[in-house]
Chain A
Amino acid sequence: MPFHDLYEEVQKQKSVISTKWLKEQAIALSTINKVKEQWSGVLDASALRGFYIEGPLGPPVPLEPNECLIVLSREMCQGPLGAHWRRFVYTKELMHVFDEEDEKASTREEFDLQIEKFGDPTKDMSPQFRAEIKALWRALMVLCQEERRLEYKRQLNANEISVDVIASALRLPVAYARELMRDNFEIVTASLK
């Protein structure tokens, strides 16, 4: 299983995981053979931090089949703790190279079900929206080795460290470092490996 292979490779890494390395691994392990990245100056991060598209796609950023584009808000990337936000948003979008065929949004109807749920959480769940949630948790799983995560958790529980310091060490937004330290992280992510 491709994501499982990435997860196992992450565990072997000794230092903070780089998104450049994650991209190389994602290309090697998935059907995607190119990942383009753009920081857009017109994207208002309060509405949309970023998005992912798998081609084929026409101009201005043409994509062939099996190529993808990740667009990030430049305002977010250059704002407070911008590098940390860039790392997490980019990685979450990158995880969509592992979407199963039935998790991909390739029709107007699938797109509607998926995007409407962002605005109204009571709308029906779909494989596409579930893949949004899976990618978020998979991003957390690949941005910190499990051994390191458990050590940080131990230190946190012993009041030896704060979530803010963990976030800084991992170069992640504090809110997502907090999710990494959840007591039920292992339960939530067990089925995603």
Chain B
Amino acid sequence: MQVELEALKNRLFGDSQIKNVKFFPGQSSDATPEDMAREMNKFFADPHNNGDDNELSHD
């Protein structure tokens, strides 16, 4: 049961209708698509996210 992937798809393609999504996987060769989706779900659930750009770099 791919709980994280289904929740993410509901957010991206149900609640919203995004036009594109792309990923940069982590260094762990054991990370699965479910793990990647979990990280994105954690991001969307973060109550401290006020929607602003942060840590802008000019580098």
User: Which A positions have Cβ atoms within 8 angstroms of B?
Assistant: 18-20, 36-63, 65, 68, 71, 73-74, 77, 83, 86-87, 89-90, 92-93, 96, 99, 104-108, 111-112, 114-116, 118-119, 128, 131-132, 135, 171
21 A–B pairs (Cβ distance < 8 Å), ordered by A: A18-B59, A20-B58, A38-B53, A41-B46, A42-B39, A42-B43, A44-B39, A47-B39, A48-B25, A48-B39, A51-B24, A57-B12, A57-B16, A59-B51, A63-B18, A77-B55, A104-B19, A105-B21, A106-B19, A111-B13, A132-B22
Contacts of A54 in B (CB 8 A): 18-21
Q: Are A93 and B54 in contact (CB under 8 A)?
A: no
Interface 1/0s, chain B 17-59, versus A by CB < 8 A? Answer: 1111111111110011101111110111010111111111111
Interchain CB contact (< 8 A) of A171 among B35, B43, B49, B59: B59
Give chain B residues whose Cβ lies under 8 Å from the Cβ of A132.
Answer: 22-23
Given contacts A19-B59, A106-B20, contact A43 B13 (CB under 8 A): no
Decide: A37 and B53 in contact? CB cutoff 8 A. yes
Q: Could you tell me which B residues sit within 8 Å of A by CB distance?
A: 5, 9, 12-13, 15-28, 31-33, 35-40, 42-44, 46, 48-59
List A contacts of B53 (CB < 8 A): 36-38
Tell me which residues across on chain A come within 8 A of B17, comparing CB atoms: 56, 106
Identify whether the interface residues of A are mostly helix, strand, loop, or mixed: mixed
Q: Which 6 A-B pairs have the closest CB atoms?
A: A104-B20, A54-B20, A48-B39, A46-B28, A39-B55, A47-B31
A108 to B48, CA, bound (A): 28
A39-B54 in contact (CB<8A): yes
The CA of A65 and the CA of B19, in the complex, are separated in Å by: 8
Give bound CA distance, A160 to B58, whole Å.
Answer: 30
Docked complex Cα distance between A108 and B7 (Å)? 11
A25 to B56, CA, bound (A): 17
Taking CB atoms, residues of chain B closer than 8 Å to A37 are 53-56
Given the interface contacts A60-B46, A87-B59, does A111 sit within 8 Å of B12 by beta carbon? yes
Q: In the complex, which residues of chain B have a beta carbon less than 8 angstroms from the beta carbon of A42?
A: 39, 42-43, 46
